[in-house]
Amino acid sequence: MDFIWLLWILHVSSALEEILLDTTTATSEIGWTSYPSSGWDEVSVLDDKKQLIRTFEVCNINTPNQNNWLRTAFIYRRGAQRVHVRIKFSVRDCASMPNIVSSSCKETFTLYYYEANSDDATDSSPAWQEGPWQKVDTIAADESFSKVDSAGKILKINVKVRSFGPLSKQGFYLAFQDSGACMSLIAVQVFFHKCPAVIRNFASFPETYAGGESTSLVETLGACISNAEEDGSMVKLHCNGEGEWMVAVSQCMCRAGHEPVGDSVCKACTVGTFKISSGSQKCIHCPGHSRTTSVGSKKCDCQNGFYRTSSDSPDSPCTSPPSAPRDLSYEISGSSAVLKWRLPRDLGGREDILFNVICKVCAPEAGICARCSEGLQYEPRPIGLTETRVQVSGLLARVHYTFEIQAVNLVTELSQYSPASASINVSTSQSAPSAVPMMHQVSRTTTSITLSWPQPDQPNGLILDYELRYFDKAESEDNSFVLSSETNMATVKNLIPGKIYAFQVRARTSIGYGPYSGKMYFQTLLEGERTGTAQDRLPLIVGSALGGLAFVVFAVIIIIAIVFKSRRRETPYTDRLQRYIASRGMGVKYYIDPSTYEDPNEAIREFAKEIDVSCVNIEEVIGAGEFGEVCRGRLKLPNKREFTVAIKTLKSGYTDIQRRDFLSEASIMGQFDHPNVIHLEGVVTKSRPVMIVTEFMENGSLDSFLRQNEGQFSVIQLVGMLRGIASGMKYLAEMSYVHRDLAARNILVNSNLVCKVSDFGLSRFLEDEASNPTYTSALGGKIPIRWTAPEAIQYRKFTSASDVWSYGIVMWEVMSYGERPYWDMTNQDVINAIEQDYRLPPPPDCPSVLHLLMLDCWLKERGQRPKFEQIVNTLDKMIRNPAGLKSMGSPSNRPTLQLLSNSPPDFSTLTNVSDWLDAIKMGRYKENFSQAGMNTFELVSRMTLEDIQHIGVVLVGHQKKILNSIQLMRVHLNQLEPVEV
Ligand code: AMP
């Protein structure tokens, strides 16, 4: 009720009247029906303006009981619900009339209406009485309107409005009942109210008829004007009984990109301005570094090079990545460096600046840099630094580090450019190795103790040997003995039974000795005491330099080892473990074949870290491996930064053997730690699917990467890749690991073009056979013929030398951007061709030195092939001296093999050194020989290997070839027997 009252108070609009009947201007007969005929009369009179008008009069005041009815014509309702009748009339004042029966004189009349669907009233119907007729009101004259007419009579001119409704039929009649007045109906207007069509509050409302009651409020829904929208609820106005619109209860609002003008127009924002949401606000100018290109913009887009993060509000200014940190400097002390810098000049308009530290180790002469391996500690952290300093500890001696400080903010990753950074070179000086952290007893007798120890945390160079110092605890330290050991294990002999000895050890590099370890005490067995008890393995007293904590850790390790030992005393595993642990510390590591473990799970536990599956988030399948899908994903280890990894999965329904084979790759990979060998993060074996998680290599496998980027790299870049592969293989060969499937498809490439050896699925452990580890496959299996050395194909002689052969093929694949070795020749044709000394020709644009190196790798005699170490050195020289890479071999696009000429030359037909070199296909060294003055067979025949190296024959295969031929030359010149070289 209050609400409606309020609406009434607040009504605002001028109403419209629609006329249904109007006698005001009628001049001809109106023709309404009167009853009885002695009652109402239609007369023409002149009004006060002397205009002729039609009126109805009655004045039977002297006859009592008057009942005179005047009925209008049928009035169509035309949709009106409530009708208003404005009646202009005059009534003679009874008092002003003498001689009348005052009791029958009236000054009122009564208004009626009768609803009908058609104009079917007759003289007698509806009956002239209330009942069929609905009474509207008895209308009295108002004295205030009294006036005297021309005849001196006092008239009361009145205008009264009465209304009635609601109406429902097609139309109605009105009736005026006179009961004895002297009066005149001057004019009658019948009308209804309607609210006009309007635009109000950004909505348009149609014309609306007022309701049937005087208090009715007719609800009308509005439609939002163009570029406006509803504010959650429907927009309504109410039309009241007077035909007036009441204040809207809700409203439309100008949409985003449009601003209000008055309350009836939404105008598009001009170029350079925007409005972010709908509402009554105005368009505003674009914030910094943003713009619009069309009218009606809801937001401003960032200018090139400027960005908003997803958390920046769309009306905030656009920002850019920061410029580089300034004034980067460092202070070095011992094995730590403190790097400091100043904030970038341009923060990009943001406050959220962070810094990342990237460490590289560079070989300046070779121009090669690699990421620093793990082992450096950063205080507070390497990534996401908020402060402008970082302390890096654990630096190795004599290493050229390059530290790059990247400035980043939240929009850096949106930019296509790498973060701006400042770099500084930090070269550490030489320092001796750090102390050996602990020792433990491997075994003891009554007169000897065998100890082993790990490598110092910071070897700071290659450890040449260790010095073990020991003395009888009961005697003075001055009476100590020393013993040198090239490994991290030593047996001290000639001791006295049952005595306690103190031991200390220190490591030596080319710089000298590091500090001695803390003293540890071990006791020889008493005469008659049994060897190998659990107790034997505990050190007796821990020296002062080793804290209590180290002792606890050490004791726990030893106890675990004892438990192992007691459980598995007889298995070869313990020996292997021992050998592995022992070898770990001394820089000479052996690869251990996981298939020699009785329980393959033990190998997994030993070499691969178990990762909780909740740390792994698989994102996308990127390839298919032998055992299941290979995916890209993210690894988030506790307290570590999340990073991208590759995840190999084992498909469901696997057999035990498949699981073992699948995981054996992880057991192998987990033993390696080299920048050019794919790094194992760990395995998931305690949930399904079983997974192997490795570092992620963005560019996938090398063969397809090269094919996709044919011709895109410089020769130096390709040689850099080859150098990486050779370095990884050198490491594997040093670990006595024979890959057996070295091929470009098994090399992975990361985003920095670093190549890493992968795919250890086919690999097999090598027994250490003299210095040349050899593996003969007992199982057979498939062999990748095109990549495999002849001796490995023929009698399964897989060695690091056969890996070198495969490496030569990889070189050829790289230099030919992923061409298939031996093109479409059949495997049998390849085997035959190799047997007949045919070899792959240089790929197009391949520098001859590289092809010569390939040919060296493909020497039939495996002992003559270069070792990986030599290959690395040769490639390093090439990288240092790129001019040597300019000379190309004869261009060869044609798939034809080259015949190697190995048959000895006939010296009797040769006249000079130059011819001889041509005959042995070493013509490229003619200049080297002539510059060295080696112009005669006589002089040449006296040359040694050193002389040959000295005149610039770098490749080992060539040195050997020339030396072999010189021997024949000697035979020819002196008729001597050939001698062994
Ligand atoms: P594999 O089973 O090792 O031969 O892997 C099958 C395919 O998965 C390879 O050819 C690569 O394309 C891809 N892949 C394997 N390991 C990785 C990795 N660490 N990073 C990126 N892609 C990988």
Instruction: Indicate whether 154 pLDDT > 70.
Output: no
User: Average pLDDT of 486-494?
Assistant: 87
Task: Please give the pLDDT value at position 895.
Answer: 53
As a three-state string, the secondary structure of 867-888 is CHHHHHHHHHHHHHCHHHHCCE
Is the per-residue pLDDT at 718 higher than 50? yes
| Spatial separation of the C-alpha atoms in residues 560 and 563, rounded to whole Å | 5
d(CA 176, CA 59): 14
Q: For ligand 1, atom 5, which residue shows the shortest CA distance? A: 625
Cβ of 235 closer than 6 Å to ligand 1, yes or no, is: no
pLDDT, tens digit, for every residue of 13-47?
467 899 999 998 888 899 999 999 999 999 998 87
**β-pair partners for 134:** 113
Phi/psi for 85 (5° steps) reads: -120, 120
What is the secondary structure of 775-825 as a DSSP string? Answer: EE-SS-----GGGS-HHHHHH-EEEHHHHHHHHHHHHHHHHTTSPPTTTT-
The 3-state secondary structure of 824-879 reads CCCHHHHHHHHHCCEECCCCCCCEHHHHHHHHHHCCCCHHHCCCHHHHHHHHHHHH
Provide the pLDDT for residue 970: 73
d(CA 666, CA 658): 13
Q: Is 954 a pocket residue for ligand 1 (Cβ < 6 Å)?
A: no
Averaged pLDDT of the chain: 83
Residue 744 contacts residue 900 (beta carbons within 8 Å): no
CA-nearest residue for atom 2, ligand 1, is 625
Given a contact cutoff of 8 angstroms between Cβ atoms, the answer to whether 784 and 743 are in contact is yes
Give residue-wise pLDDT tens across range 726-759.
Answer: 999 999 999 889 999 999 999 999 988 899 999 9
Q: How is 77-129 classified by DSSP, letter by letter? A: -TT-SSEEEEEEEEEE-GGG-SSS-TTT-BSEEEEEEEEESSS---SSSS-SS
Alpha-helical (H) ranges within 635-714 are 656-669, 702-708
Q: What pLDDT, on a 0 to 100 scale, did the predictor assign at position 896?
A: 64
Distance, C-alpha 887 to centroid of its chain: 45
Share of the chain above pLDDT 90, in %: 46
Instruction: Please give the full DSSP string across 128-168, using - where no structure is assigned.
Output: SSBTTBEEEEEEE--GGGEEE-TTS-EEEEEEEEEEE----
- Beta strand 217-221 with 236-240 is antiparallel
Locate 683 and state its tokens: 């395995």
Report the separation in Å between the CA atom of 630 and the middle of ligand 1, taken as the mean of its atom positions. 6
Q: What is the CA(665)–ligand 1 centre distance, in A?
A: 13
Going from the Cα of 765 to the center of ligand 1, the distance in angstroms, rounded, reads 23
Q: Could you give the 3-state DSSP secondary structure of residue 711?
A: coil
What is the tens place of the pLDDT at every residue in 654-697? 888 889 889 999 999 999 999 999 999 999 999 989 999 999 99
Relative to beta strand 75-76, strand 203-205 is: unpaired
Crossing angle for the helix pair 868-880 and 848-857, nearest 10 degrees?
A: 180
Tokens of 438: 């602990």
Ligand 1 pocket, 646 CB below 6 A? yes
- Asked whether the predicted pLDDT for residue 275 surpasses 60, the reply is yes
Query: pLDDT band for position 535 (50/70/90)?
Result: very low
How much is the pLDDT for 323?
95
> Cα(418)–Cα(412) distance, rounded to whole angstroms?
8
Residue with tokens 């052996």: 590
Coil/strand/helix, residue 541: coil
Q: Which two tokens stand for residue 616?
A: 């792994």
From the CB of 694, is ligand 1 less than 6 Å away? yes
pLDDT given at position 530: 53
Considering just the CA atoms, what is the radius of gyration of the chain in Å? Answer: 55
- Closest Cα to atom 4 of ligand 1: 625
Identify whether the C-beta of residue 220 lies closer than 8 Å to the C-beta of residue 204: no
Lowest mean pLDDT among 45-49, 473-477, 699-703: 45-49
CB atoms under 10 Å from CB of 163, counted, come to: 18
For residue 104, give the nearest of 60, 68, 139 by alpha carbon.
60
411 close to ligand 1 (CB < 6 Angstrom):
no
Asked if 763 and 379 count as a contact pair (C-beta separation under 8 A), the reply is no
Atom index in ligand 1 nearest the CA of residue 627 equals: 2
Smallest CA separation from ligand 1 atom 6, residue: 625
How close is the Cα of 700 to the center of ligand 1, in Å?
A: 6
Q: With cut-offs at 50, 70 and 90, classify the pLDDT of residue 903.
A: low
From residue 655, alpha-carbon distances to 412, 571, 605, 623, 650 in Å are: 48, 26, 20, 22, 10
Q: How far apart are CA 126 and CA 116, in angstroms?
A: 10
Query: Mean pLDDT throughout 391-407?
Result: 86
The structure tokens listed for 206 are 């149609």
What are the tokens at 43?
Answer: 């007369």
Distance 859 CA to ligand 1 centre (A): 31
pLDDT at 153: 61
For residue 135, the model assigns a pLDDT of 97
Longest Cα–Cα distance of the chain, Å, equals 185
Ligand 1 and 59: CB distance under 6 A: no
Report d(CA 638, CA 319) in Å as an integer: 33
**N-terminal to C-terminal alpha carbon distance within the chain:** 122
DSSP-assigned states of every residue in 574-635 = HHHHHHHHHHHTTT------GGGSSSHHHHHHHHS-B--GGGEEEEEEEEE-SSSEEEEEEE
- Three-state SS for 966? helix
Ligand 1 and 626: CB distance under 6 A: yes
Of 406-415, 424-433, 786-795, 829-838, the one with minimum mean pLDDT is 424-433
Confidence of residue 227 (pLDDT cuts 50, 70, 90): very high
Question: Quick one: what percent of the chain has pLDDT higher than 70?
Answer: 85
Lowest mean pLDDT: which of 34-48, 347-361, 451-465, 803-817? Answer: 451-465
Which residue, judged by its Cα, is nearest atom 1 of ligand 1?
A: 625
For ligand 1, is residue 582 a contact (CB within 6 Å)? no
Q: What is the band of 209 on the pLDDT scale with cuts at 50, 70, 90?
A: very high
pTM over 0.85? The answer is: no
Name the residue at shortest CA distance from atom 23 of ligand 1: 700
pLDDT bin (cut points 50, 70, 90) of residue 904 is low
pLDDT at res. 554: 42
Write out 719-772 in H/E/C secondary structure.
HHHHHHHHHHHHHHHHCCEECCCCCHHHEEECCCCCEEECCCCCCEECECCCCC
DSSP secondary structure, 260-272, as one string? EETTTEEEEPPTT
Q: What's the token pair of residue 395? A: 């630096």
Helix ranges (DSSP H) in 642-742: 656-669, 702-708, 715-734
- Assess whether 741 carries a catalytic annotation: yes
Probe residue for ligand 1, chosen from 672, 748, 762, 763 as the CB with the greatest number of ligand atoms within 8 Å: 748
Q: What's the confidence (pLDDT) of residue 974?
A: 61
What is the pLDDT, as a whole number, of residue 515? 81
Q: Ligand 1 centroid to 401 CA: how many Å?
A: 31
State the sign of the Cα–Cα–Cα–Cα dihedral 914, 916, 919, 924.
negative
Residue 46: its pLDDT value, please?
A: 84
- The answer to whether the CB of 699 is under 6 A from ligand 1 is no
Ligand 1: residue whose CA is nearest its atom 3: 759
pLDDT value at residue 455: 78
pLDDT at residue 10, as a whole number: 39
Q: Which residue has the tokens 């003008």?
A: 261
Task: For residue 146, count CB atoms less than 10 angstroms from its CB and return exposed for 0-12, middle for 13-18, buried for 19 or more.
Answer: middle
pLDDT in tens, 556-591: 444 444 333 333 332 333 333 333 333 333 344 677
The 8-class DSSP code of residue 613 comes to G
Please say whether the dihedral angle defined by the alpha carbons of residues 453, 459, 464 and 466, taken in this order, is positive or negative.
Answer: negative
Phi, psi of 25 (to 5 degrees): -105, 10
Residue 364 banded pLDDT, cuts 50, 70, 90? low
In this structure, what are the phi and psi dihedrals at residue 425, rounded to the nearest 5 degrees? -95, 130
Query: Could you check whether the bond before residue 572 is cis, i.e. omega within 30 degrees of 0?
Result: no
CB of 783 within 6 A of ligand 1: the answer is no
Query: With b meaning 16 or more CB within 10 Å and e meaning fewer, what string describes 421-449?
Result: bbeeebebeebbbbbbbbbbbbbbbbeeb
Count other Cβ atoms within 10 Å, centred on residue 203. Answer: 25
The catalytic position among 536, 741, 803, 856 is: 741
Contact 634, 642 (CB under 8 A): yes
Sign of the torsion formed by the C-alpha atoms of 54, 55, 56 and 59: negative
Bridge partners (DSSP) of residue 417 are: none
Q: Is the peptide bond before 36 cis (omega within 30 degrees of 0)?
A: yes
Amino acid (1-letter code) at residue 868:
F
So what's the pLDDT on residue 318? 96
348: pLDDT confidence band, cut at 50, 70 and 90? very high
CB atoms within 10 A of CB 784: 19
Reported confidence tier of residue 953, pLDDT bands at 50, 70, 90: confident
The answer, yes or no, to whether any atom of ligand 1 lies below 6 A from the CB of 622, is: yes
Q: What are the pLDDT digits (tens) for 778-835?
A: 334 578 889 999 998 888 888 999 999 999 999 999 999 999 998 888 888 888 888 8
According to DSSP, the β-strands at 421-427 and 301-302 are unpaired
Taking the C-alpha atoms of residue 365 and residue 877, their distance in angstroms, rounded to an integer, is 9
Task: State the average pLDDT over residues 240-247.
Answer: 88
Please tell me the least confidently modeled range out of 605-614, 645-654, 910-919.
Answer: 910-919
Q: Rounded mean pLDDT of 504-515?
A: 83
The C-alpha atoms of residue 556 and residue 576 are separated, in whole angstroms, by 20
Q: 398-407, 547-556, 717-726 — which one is most confidently predicted on average? A: 717-726
Between the CA of 617 and the centroid of ligand 1 the distance, in Å, is 17
Q: Mean of the pLDDT values across residues 772-782?
A: 38
Q: Tell how far the Cα of 186 is from the centroid of ligand 1, in angstroms.
A: 106
Distance 623 CA to ligand 1 centre (A): 6
Pick the closest to residue 732 from 747, 715, 721 (CA basis): 747
Q: Is the pLDDT of residue 82 over 70?
A: yes
Ligand 1 and 628: CB distance under 6 A: no
